[in-house]
Amino acid sequence: MTAQHPTIGSLLRALRARNGWTLKEMSERTGIPLSTLSKVENDRLSLTYDKLLQISQRLNLRMSELFAEPDASSEPQVTARRSIARIEDGVRVNTPNYDYYYLCTELRRKRMIPVLTRVRATTLAQFGELVRHSGEEYIHVIEGAVEVHTEFYDPIVLRAGEGVYIDSNMGHAYLAAPGCEEALLLGVCSSADEQLMESLLTLHGDTGKPAARK
């Protein structure tokens, strides 16, 4: 029997069950309306990134803990971890301008966060303010072409097979390049900061749904 892929709703539902909270209690603790939480848990409503960040902050959880499914027993010291990254097993957060697939989410305390991103934003007006977070990142273009905007450099266009390595605390944005409706990126973000996932999820967007191809 194939295991059900995680969704934002199922992870929130599991978190609430682990703590023995009712929907009302979860609503009071997170500041998210009860009706909204109910629809999210049943995968019938989206959540914006700032709402995900709000939940993690109100519950005093790292975003990586919010995304990770709990272990049945206490976590042993790991010396040789391995995780196979399949897009259908990732946690997907999709928005009008981007689809983010967070990979290897079962691994906790990661220093690297791999993310597949489908980019549809074509202007900075659609993207919003430049993104800044701790650490470094490498972005590799798999399909299409991407226009990379950074705070201290002129924009550049990267095509399939090309990539860029940047300091992530420098403002940056990735857009579908002129003439390209959509691009697929593989990003790897790295930081010693355990709050890195929270920083990544302050990106602009508004839904959390299961990872699945149309």
Mean residue pLDDT across the chain: 80
Please give the model's pTM, rounded to 2 decimal places.
Answer: 0.60
pLDDT in tens, 151-198: 999 999 999 999 999 998 899 999 999 999 999 999 998 876 555 555
For residue 75, count other CB atoms closer than 10 A to its CB. Answer: 9
* H-type alpha helices, 20-105: 23-30, 34-41, 49-58, 63-67
Query: Residue 106: what pLDDT?
Result: 77
Query: Rounded to the nearest 5°, which phi and psi values hold at 101?
Result: -115, 105
CB 119 within 8 A of CB 175: yes
- Report the alpha-carbon distance of residue 8 to residue 40 in Å, rounded: 8
Domains, the chain: 8-66 (1.10.260.40), 87-210 (2.60.120.10)
Query: Residue 16: what pLDDT?
Result: 87
- Report the alpha-carbon distance of residue 178 to residue 164 in Å, rounded: 18
pLDDT in tens, 119-158: 999 999 988 888 887 788 999 999 999 999 999 999 999 9
